[in-house]
Amino acid sequence: MLVAIPVAVVMLRCYPPLARELARIAGQSRGVVAFVGLSRATRTPRGAVLPSFALVLVLAMVAFPDMIAASVSRSQVAASWQQVGADAVISAPSGQVITPALQRQIASVPGVVSTADAVVDAGSLLPSGFELSVVFVDPAQYAAVIDQAPGPRFPLAALSGDAGSSQAAGVVPAVATTAAAQLVGTAPTDLSVGTSTITIRLAGQIGNVPGVAANAVAVMPLQALGPQPPGPDLMLVAGPGLDAARLGAAVSRALPGGSVTLRATAVTVLTTAPVPQAAQTAITQGMAIAAGFGVLVLLLSLLLTARTREMTLARLATMGLRRWQAQLLLAAETLPPVVAAAVGGVACAWLLARLVGPSLNLAAFSGTGSATVVTPAVVPLVVAAAGLVLAALLVLAVQAVITYHRGSARALRIAD
């Protein structure tokens, strides 16, 4: 209320001069319908003040909760990317690999955009003996999948830019998580992987590695395993609209015991948790109630001035006003205050997001456990404002049809 009242006052003061300027521009054209409608719109009736206040408050009560829901949804999507790292992750059981035939089947699943294979193994730093997980990948394919996620890009140049010269000198570049980078250090270090010893050099850092649960993980080019590397036991899939059922069927048929982790499942788990689901239901109900009151206020405000508009249509109909011209006149007369209320409601919701949003922590409602704040969003504001304008146009169109259907224009001609 404290935000809506001053916004509504400013809006009611600003829109009449704008409407008069539009009427002046319309008066220079040959048509008279828009000029008459805008001229009538410049006269703000006393009864229009309270509906304008109500519409500003209603729009704020619709757009601001919608921004809350959008912020919660963004937090849940970001958490799903952190948990899974790709749209789908396929892991082979211990001792098995993902065959080339299965790789082709996965790549052919509808909705799959790109895939990346990886070989996961355990490594030990020499001579310290610190253990870490090692992931061998094709840098270009791996980056194409990882970069589908929001956030920092994968440091492809660190693995492919000078990888050839480094490997020729016997040093393999690697990018590592924070925990692994602290173990590796900045100097070239020997890493024992299986029966091989690889000299690695830290070339960059990353946040996490999809499909690998360990904290200390190093990623390096597949060429470090030699000319004949083993088959991959991890596969990452990028595809926002992939056919999850077909993907799961292909993996279960060709790789018994293999696991398929879907990011969509992670999002579903977050959104269907009791507290987030109850919060979303409450937000939706509140928005629906506010929108219902907004429609009611709009109907009442238009009905209060319906008689004067009907008589105006009747008089102009005696001069040959057509139905589409009547609808244009009604729109030109009624839309300026409605649009002004829509702008005021959008401004009110935006101010609420700026003033109150940083003080709200929605972690409990998102189910992620991470801090979530309300930030201004364009889509909820535009949708709320467009909904109000469309509702006003619908009511005006119905009024124009009813006025002509009842024959008000014919009655006025007979009276004359």
| pLDDT band per the 50, 70, 90 thresholds, residue 17 | confident
pLDDT score at 166: 47
Tokens, residue 204: 């960059």
pLDDT score at 179: 92
**Pairing mode, if any, of strands 114-126 and 189-193?**
antiparallel
Q: How far apart are CA 190 and CA 373, in angstroms?
A: 45
**374, 363 in Cβ contact below 8 A?**
no
Q: How far apart are CA 370 and CA 75, in angstroms?
A: 8
- pLDDT, tens digit, for every residue of 83-102? 898 999 999 998 899 999 99
Find how far residue 307's CA is from the centre of its chain. Answer: 44
Question: Could you check whether the bond before residue 127 is cis, i.e. omega within 30 degrees of 0?
Answer: yes
Grouping H, G, I as helix, E, B as strand and the rest as coil, residue 216 is coil
**283, 89 in Cβ contact below 8 A?**
no
As a whole number of Å, the end-to-end CA separation of the chain is 50
Percent of the chain with pLDDT over 90: 30
pLDDT score at 13: 75
- pLDDT, the chain, mean: 81
Percent of the chain with pLDDT over 70: 79
**Pairing mode, if any, of strands 217-221 and 131-137?**
parallel
**111, 242 in Cβ contact below 8 A?**
yes
Secondary structure element (H or E) that encloses residue 135, with its range: strand 131-137
User: What backbone torsions phi and psi does residue 189 show, to the nearest 5 degrees?
Assistant: -135, 145
Q: How far apart are CA 109 and CA 259, in angstroms?
A: 17
For residue 365, is pLDDT > 60?
yes
Section 21-49 average pLDDT: 64
Section 137-163 average pLDDT: 84
| pLDDT band per the 50, 70, 90 thresholds, residue 416 | very low
Secondary structure element (H or E) that encloses residue 297, with its range: helix 274-304
List b or e across 140-169, with b for residues whose CB sees 16 or more CB atoms inside 10 angstroms: ebbbbbbebbeeeebbbebbeebbeebbee
Grouping H, G, I as helix, E, B as strand and the rest as coil, residue 60 is helix
For residue 146, is pLDDT > 60?
yes
Tokens, residue 411: 């009655």
Quote the pTM value. Answer: 0.75
Q: How far apart are CA 106 and CA 72, in angstroms?
A: 32
- pLDDT, tens digit, for every residue of 57-93? 888 888 888 888 888 888 889 889 988 989 999 999 9
Instruction: Pick from 108-122, 297-311, 335-349 the range whose average pLDDT is largest.
Output: 108-122
pLDDT score at 51: 75
**135, 225 in Cβ contact below 8 A?**
no
Helices (H), 147-273: 156-160, 163-168, 178-184, 244-254, 263-271
Section 232-247 average pLDDT: 92
Between 338 and 234, name the one with better pLDDT.
Answer: 234
Site of tokens 């396929």:
90
pLDDT score at 164: 44
